[in-house]
Structure 1
Amino acid sequence: MVGVLIIVCILIIVFFIVFQKRKNKLLLDKIKQRQAFEEEISKTQIEIQEQTLKNIGQDLHDNVGQLLSVANMQLSMLAHQVGSDLQDSFTESKNLVKESLQELRSLSKSLNSDVIVYRGLQESLSTEIDRFNKLGLINAEITVTGNENYFLKGKDSIILFRILQEFFSNTIKYSEASILEVHINYTPDFVELTAVDDGIGFDELTIEKGSGLINMKNRAELIDAEFKMTSQLKEGVKLYIKYYYRSH
């Protein structure tokens, strides 16, 4: 009788252990499925955003760019018909149209993911920095250390660029900063991207709820990049990204 009870107890314990393992496996599978689903949703959202930006950039280039090109040609044709008293104002207006056309073309390229892949991350960031300086929006600088020739996957370079672009946009719109510094550090295994401004900063507890920060974090997670953004009020903002190169 005792032997039967011992066997029954052992069977119950074995059944309980098997049941728990089965339960844990089901829970783990469910968590993995949810993570995969959320990752797929994030990828889809980013793909939609990229296509939207690409369409906007193309429309700007084809439509608004065409109108500015025509306006520039017409102004060139009228140049000889303008009196000497209006020549300075006319020349200034013509230069403004020309500069607007150049800025529009530069902006449309920064919205087009194909151009970013073709140019590469470093050149795309340098172009953005140059654009800010030309427009007098902020005193911006980019520095580079290491070898750029390490492999960087095309789509991943787009995501990294968009994260930095979001940071630039927030700096120019809200930070009241006068200086923006960007540094790229290449190593054989990873690339480090650092962006710092000297603006008014923010409360980290409050900014956690902001859609801009969430968007940047989500993008970084998609490519398994380390992401950190720190700030204190009146002490500027610092963004740090560490991205490990993926294999071909």
Structure 2
Amino acid sequence: MSIILLASLVFLLMPIFLLLYIRSYNRHKKNHFVEKENMRQKFESEILKTHIEVQEQTMQTIATELHDNIGQLLSLTTLTLNSINVPENEKASEKIENSLSLVNKSIKEIRELAKILHGEQIVESGIGNAIEQEINWLKRVGGYELQVSNNLLELSVSSPDKDLIILRLLQEIINNIIKHAQATSIHIDTYLKNETLFLTVKENGIGFDYEAARTKKTGIGLASIQKRVELIKGKIEVNSVVEKGTSIFIEIPYP
């Protein structure tokens, strides 16, 4: 009788033990998957950080070369042109004056470009001022009707690492517009609300099929922007209509 009772008990308990085992196995499997996914994301994040660091080092090297070497050569050219004396040749004198004007303008543009490339120095004065310098550069490029609402100029908080990435985000977006959008109007809006930094860029260019670009991975610039946003735990939304332009909305926890 006891053997039958024991067998019955084992028979009744076996499904429970089996169920507990399956649950435990699934839980361990899920935990392993989550751990593996976290490791993958961390690895990708480290790769992206390294990639960005290499980009920054490259841009800083270029900025130094532009400012120190090419800038110095142009300054020497200015001195040489100033030393030329042609009082009896009005036409030659006019050409020299025009050349001086062009060289001085080139020196100014190279210095501004060097500042933009040397992002770390720019963001020292705050992300609002960094964005303002980028907008001023875009104004000098010309060819666009600009509508700008930069509400970060009086920002009292900062996050240098994030600031540099945000600046590069805006530069990448503007670069894409100049290269591909064929736009005539650009609207840039920035503000901080509830510890979230909002960046919106709209243009009236030719637009594109966003989903197709993501599927075919043809939008390399856009992919770079998305990766940078993910790196600082932000969100990005891209709305684009062919022949009607593109709008990019970015939200970033800040500071």
Scaled by the length of structure 1, the TM-score of the pair is 0.91
Correspondence 1:243 to 2:249: no
Distance 1:17 1:176, change over 3 A: closer
Deviation, 1:170, is 1.4
How far is the alpha carbon of 1:214 from its aligned partner? 0.3
* Paired residues for 1:111-190 under 5 Å: 111-145=117-151, 148-190=154-196
8 Å Cα contact 1:178-1:198 kept in structure 2? yes
Which 4+ residue blocks in structure 1 deviate beyond 4 angstroms?
A: 79-82
Structure 2 segments unaligned to the other structure (5+ residues): 1-6
Deviation at residue 44 of structure 1 after TM alignment: 1.1
- Give per-residue Cα distances to partners, 1:146-182, cap 9 Å, x unaligned: 7732423101011111111011111112222222221
In 2 relative to 1, CA 79–240 (structure 1 residues): closer, same or farther, beyond 3 Å? farther
Report the counterpart of residue 84 of structure 1 in structure 2: 90
Secondary structure of 2:13's counterpart equals: helix
In structure 2, how many angstroms separate the alpha carbons of the residues matched to 1:98 and 1:90? 12
Is it true that 1:23 corresponds to 2:32 in the alignment? no
In the aligned structure 2, how far is the partner of 1:150 from the partner of 1:212?
Answer: 31
| Counterpart code for 2:99 | S
Which runs of 5 or more structure 1 residues have no equivalent in the other structure? none
One-letter amino acid of the counterpart of residue 148, structure 1: E
Contact kept? 1:132, 1:139, Cα under 8 Å: no
Cα distance in 2 for partners of 1:8, 1:189 equals 54
- The more displaced of 97-106 and 110-119 is 110-119
User: Contact 1:126 / 1:142 at 8 angstroms: preserved in 2?
Assistant: no
For the residues of structure 2 that align with 1:70 and 1:215, how far apart are their CA atoms?
39
Q: Deviations over 1:108-144 (max 9, x none)?
A: 1111122122132222222222222223343334223
Q: Relative to structure 1, is the Cα distance of residues 146 and 129 closer, same or farther in structure 2, using a 3 angstrom cutoff?
A: closer
What is the DSSP-based 3-state SS (H/G/I as helix, E as strand, rest coil) of the residue aligned with 2:84? helix
* Structure 2 CA distance for aligned equivalents of residues 12 and 118 of structure 1: 62
* Structure label with greater radius of gyration: 2
The answer to whether the 8 A contact 1:138-1:177 is kept is yes
Check conservation: 1:225, 1:244, Cα contact below 8 A. Answer: yes
- Match of residue 220 from structure 2: 211
2:123 aligned partner, one-letter code: V
Q: Secondary structure at the match of 2:252?
A: strand
Q: 1:57 to 1:82 in 2, by over 3 A?
A: farther
Q: Distance in 1 between matches of 2:65 and 2:233?
A: 33
CA RMSD of aligned residues (A): 2.0
1:74 aligns with 80
CA contact (8 A) 2:233 2:252 kept: yes
